[in-house]
Structure 1
Amino acid sequence: MTTAKWVMPLIASLMIAAPAQAAPASITGNWKTDDGKSIIQFYQCGSSMCGKISKFLVPEPAGGARDTENPDRSKRSQRLLGLRIFWNLKADGSKFKGNGYSPEDGRNFNAQVWREGNRLKVKGCVLLFCRTATFTKA
């Protein structure tokens, strides 16, 4: 058997086979924000991951913190506690990619979330401007 008879099929099979990618590390659980003001709970929601404000670590104003910066005026009276601020986070390589919302400035952003050991990296981008925060396990 000549070398070409077994090398060519081997090369062809390697080119056709999809590269194996490990699923990103789990982000499920409670994470303290980098500013220390709140806990974000990441959880499974359908076929993706979501994140909501599950607890404040600073005192809320009387009547509870509200979404006062929301660009939709009809939503400005909704409570922040329990508000979903990450959604449609789907595994993409070593990260979860989806959408996020910042109640501090009322902006939606493209989100990337991934684990680095016992820390959670959260990157948010609006157009060309990005910011990365580091959350710690709560």
Structure 2
Amino acid sequence: MIVFDCRRFLRTIRIAATALAALTLGVAGARAQEAEGVWMREDGASKVQFSPCGGGLCGTVVWLKNPNSKAHIGQKVFFDMARADQTSWTGQAFNPEDGKTYSGKIVVNGKKLRTSGCVLGGLICKSMNWVRAN
């Protein structure tokens, strides 16, 4: 004879629901650390779209506040960006202002992104903050 234990059944359902909720939140948290999408510079001067390219990640200018800036729409400013860990990528960063390419890094923290361009093995770096635009 099979006896149905209602309390045990409800406890099993609660555990399964909790596990499912934790898994769902974990996936959403992981997605929040992705760099793909459109990001606006904190000063509002430009927007860059990060998307997959050549096995890595590239960033292309998609909007400029000042159409007379040295950058232009469609210009690749981040390229060969490879994932370094859960929240960062490393590769190359092009600065349209001086026409030079630097070793670059992207770090994502939720809806914020920080880019860095460095020379002399990371001795001198310039960073820029971005916010997710989409």
TM score, norm. by length of structure 1 = 0.66
Residue 59 of structure 2 is matched in structure 1 by 51
TM score, norm. by length of structure 2 = 0.68
Q: In the alignment, does 2:84 pair up with 1:92?
A: yes
In 2, Cα distance between the equivalents of 1:132 and 1:38?
Answer: 15
In 2, Cα distance between the equivalents of 1:87 and 1:42?
Answer: 9
Check the 8 A contact 2:112/2:129 in 1, yes or no. Answer: yes
Bigger helix fraction? 2
Check the 8 A contact 1:54/1:82 in 2, yes or no. Answer: yes
Q: In the alignment, does 2:125 pair up with 1:137?
A: no
Residue 6 of structure 1 is matched in structure 2 by none
What's the % identity of the aligned pairs? Answer: 28
Check the 8 A contact 1:32/1:135 in 2, yes or no. Answer: yes
Residue 107 of structure 2 is matched in structure 1 by 114
In 1, Cα distance between the equivalents of 2:130 and 2:91?
Answer: 17
Q: How does 1:3-42 map onto structure 2 within 5 Å?
A: 25-42=33-50
* Alignment size in residue pairs: 101
Q: Secondary structure at the match of 1:39?
A: strand
What is the deviation of 1:46?
2.3
Letter in 1 for 2:58: C
Check the 8 A contact 2:47/2:61 in 1, yes or no. Answer: yes
Q: Which fold has the larger relative contact order, with Cα–Cα distance below 8 Å and residues 6 or more apart in sequence? A: 1
RMSD of aligned Cα (Å): 2.1
Q: Which runs of 5+ in 1 are unaligned?
A: 1-21, 68-79
Q: Which runs of 5+ in 2 are unaligned?
A: 1-29
